Amino acid sequence: MREDFAPRAVWFWQELVFRHRNILLVQRHGWTLAVVNQKGGVGKTTTAINLAAGLALEGELTLLVDADPQANATSGLGIDPRGQPENLFTLIQALLTTQDTLTGDRMTFSTARPNLHLIPASIDLVGADVLLASQIARETILQRLLAPLRDRYTWIVIDTPPSLGILTINALTAADGLIVPVQCEYYALEGLSHLLQTVDLVRRHLNPQLEIWKVVLTMHDSRTRLSEQVEHEVRKFFGAKVAQSVIPRNIRVSESPSFGQPVIEYAPLSRGAQAYSALVKEVKQHAASCVG
């Protein structure tokens, strides 16, 4: 009996690991997502904040990285960008001067919310172009900065500025996947081909695994024909990459930044919050399908 026990125990353990390998892998792999669209005001920051906050609310340890000098993701969480001892710019400066990986503790900031941490931005980040211009491998600075954190967080969500400048290129290089908000407005698709070309270049030269995970329709107003038309065009162009969850134009969403809260925290029952919660689930499902 006893002699039988050891091989049986090994077999049982192997079976358990094999059967649950997807769950084990999902838990161990941290995903980095960048929210990008060089068009201004399309809902990048709103999407980044609510995605990060929604993932944190589901118990997933999440880091939001504010890579936009406007610092809207920082202030949108009720954090004063000017009052922080460290921010993305000071961390980039430190990385460039020490040429060393920075320790995780220096780089993360509590947001007074369970499971949600933040690397804030500040207006100094406008100097990133000049600071990085003379650096070798300047497109990979953010990737190197975040490297020690990738195993620590289940999710890293990067909010990017409305340009395809060096900060956005860094975000594309650091990311596994992209979330592309598209506002349901005139000229919604304008500029997207340029974005796709840039993604393609980054994929070929810097980050072969980069994928568009979800195109998200934002500020959708189902009463207008324009929103319906834009949705139709975007779904025709991007097909299955378009998230099922469409974010409605919703007053609670536009109010929430002035209260320093993501809408899913400020008004969890609002239509905007419900749509973002559904998007969080879709993003998690996508991650599971990447591993499975």
Ligand X SMILES: Nc1ncnc2c1ncn2[C@@H]1O[C@H](COP(=O)(O)OP(=O)(O)OP(=O)(O)O)[C@@H](O)[C@H]1O
Q: Which does 218 bind (CB under 5 to 8 A by kind): Mg ion, ligand X, none?
A: ligand X
Over the window 18 to 57, marking each residue x when it contacts Mg ion by CB under 5 A and - when it does not, the resulting string is --------------------------xx------------
- Is there binding between residue 43 and ligand X (CB under 6 A)? yes
- Is there binding between residue 72 and Mg ion (CB under 5 A)? yes
Look at the block and give the residue holding tokens 């900031």. 109
Task: Report helix, strand or coil for 70.
Answer: coil
Per CB under 6 A, which region of 132-140, 164-172, 187-195, 253-261 contacts ligand X? 253-261
Q: Kindly list the distances between the CA atom of residue 122 and the CA atoms of 75, 83, 171, in Å, as whole numbers in the listed order.
A: 10, 9, 17
- Is there binding between residue 64 and ligand X (CB under 6 A)? no
- Is there binding between residue 179 and ligand X (CB under 6 A)? no
CA 87, CA 62: separation in Å to the nearest integer?
Answer: 17
Look at the block and give the residue holding tokens 């792999």. 29
- Is there binding between residue 41 and ligand X (CB under 6 A)? yes
Give the shortest CB-258-to-ligand X separation in angstroms: 9
Among 88, 95, 156, 219, binds ligand X (CB under 6 A): 219
How many residues sit close enough to ligand X to count as binding (CB under 6 A)? 20
* Cβ contact 67:160 at 8 Å: yes
Q: Which does 283 bind (CB under 5 to 8 A by kind): Mg ion, ligand X, none?
A: none
Which residue type occupies 196? L
218-277 positions binding Mg ion, by CB under 5 A: none
Contacts of 279 (CB under 8 A, 6+ apart): 47, 50, 51, 54, 214, 216, 243, 245, 247
